[in-house]
Amino acid sequence: MPKHQHLQRRLGVFDATSIGLGSMLGAGVFVVFAPAAGLAGTLLVVSIVVAGAVAYCNAMASAQLAAKYPESGGTYVYGRKQLGEWPGFIAGWGFVTGKTASCAAMALTFGQYVSPDFAVPVAIAAVAVLTVVNLLGITRTAFLTRILLGIVLATLVFVAVASILGPHPADAGPSPSTTVPDGSGSAWGVLPAAGLMFFAFAGYARIATLGEEVKDPARVIPRSILGALAAAFGIYLALALLLLGHLPLPQLAASPAPLLEAVTNSDLAAGAAFVQGGAAAASLGALLALITGVGRTAMAMAREGDLPGPLARVGGRHTVPFIAELAVAAVVIVLLLTSNVLTVVGFSSFGVLVYYAVANAAAYSLADRPWHAPRWLNAAGLVGCLVLAFTLPPSSVLTMAAVLAAGVAGRALVLQRRGRRSTS
């Protein structure tokens, strides 16, 4: 195995937490409440609690593993080292494919908020600019993430104030001509909604994938993961309660932009443009963190021979995986030009839930563990991930299962060919 150049440790607690929270408060927060409310109805808050509980289990598993293996690649690395090559590959492949599709979705969301008539060209430009930022080094990525996160937090505070001030059309009840989508308020509605909400919680994985660039990783990574998750959980819970109290349930479930609609239906409707700007900033923040995390995971997989070797190259003044970053950007641009990428929330959620199922299984196998991370917590996280994954919409499950199967078949073929070469 060739020796690869390592990345430099430059991130502290504040920077790492900002990257994680910036990922979780991405464009998903501006859209995910609508489909989740359509499934769970007035039990939307329960779905958020379920998603948050599973996310907490996953965060504890990731924190344990990242402290022991402070390397780029996240669960791909943990799975390989604790469970074997195949579980690690499945985690890495699910993350890279699912999150690359998410990159395209975030870019297109940005384009649609900024210029609906030219959404795709604007999205491509955003991918290009943020890739350049990543190539300038992880400290530039963290600095821009902090700026975007500040804009997003200010926007969410404005939405909360608008929802509190009202008026509150929800008090009058839904109109007779509208109906709440089937399954709302039932257990089978709560679980798929929790799976969709998990899409919005999954950003703390970015902290673990940056393990090779974090100072004092045994201390910084667990604090950053738990800090980012706690902040995101509180924000999502508050927003859900405010939206349910401010908008009629059918209107919330059918809205393509529920946070924007909450403002336009309030006494602060003049601030709608501010919310649009916040959504655009959230899209950029999520896209920036996604490109960073996918590039590092692709680099880690290339180091082990699970992706083409050139993706493992690190270079330049800022010691970044420049080939992996450029490759991710190229694939995202192709997706923007050739597919409908705004349908990937469920697809991405399934891939990330499989990723975290492997993380929980790997953490369960650890012999040394802190008192606050018992094995039963890892077991609960594993079961929770699988339950949420397989209660997602069938189209999402089947699509991502096909992608995972294609990756497994491809790796098996490569290993077979390598075996033949070594024999000959």
Cα separation of 380 and 272, whole Å?
A: 41
| 180 pLDDT more than 60 | no
List CB contacts of 230: < 8 A, sequence separation 6 or more.
none
pLDDT in tens, 325-366: 899 999 999 989 987 765 666 777 788 889 999 999 999 999
**What pTM did the predictor assign?**
0.80
Percent of the chain with pLDDT over 90: 26
Ordered by start, the domain boundaries in the chain are 13-411
Measure CA of the first residue to CA of the last residue in the chain; give whole Å: 20
> Letter for the amino acid at 156?
L
Nearest to 103 by CA among 126, 72, 137: 126
Question: Across all residues in the chain, what is the average pLDDT?
Answer: 82
| 137 pLDDT more than 70 | no
Q: Looking at residues 369-382, what average pLDDT do you find?
A: 89
Query: What token pair was written down for 13?
Result: 């607690």
Q: Report pLDDT for 210.
A: 65
Phi, psi for 392 (deg, rounded to 5): -70, 165
List CB contacts of 86: < 8 A, sequence separation 6 or more.
408
Is residue 384 within 8 Å of residue 54, measured between CB atoms? yes
pLDDT in tens, 299-335: 889 988 899 988 888 866 656 778 888 999 999 999 8
Is residue 100 within 8 Å of residue 291, measured between CB atoms? no
Assigned architecture for domain 13-411: Up-down Bundle (1.20)
| 183 pLDDT more than 60 | no
Burial 161-198 (b: 16+ CB within 10 A, else e): ebbeeeeeebeeebeeeeebbebbeeeebbbbbbbbbb
Cα separation of 341 and 338, whole Å?
A: 9
pLDDT in tens, 206-220: 676 666 677 777 778
Nearest to 275 by CA among 157, 416, 142, 357: 157
Confidence tier at 169 by pLDDT (50, 70, 90): low
Query: What token pair was written down for 383?
Result: 């079961």
> Letter for the amino acid at 65?
L
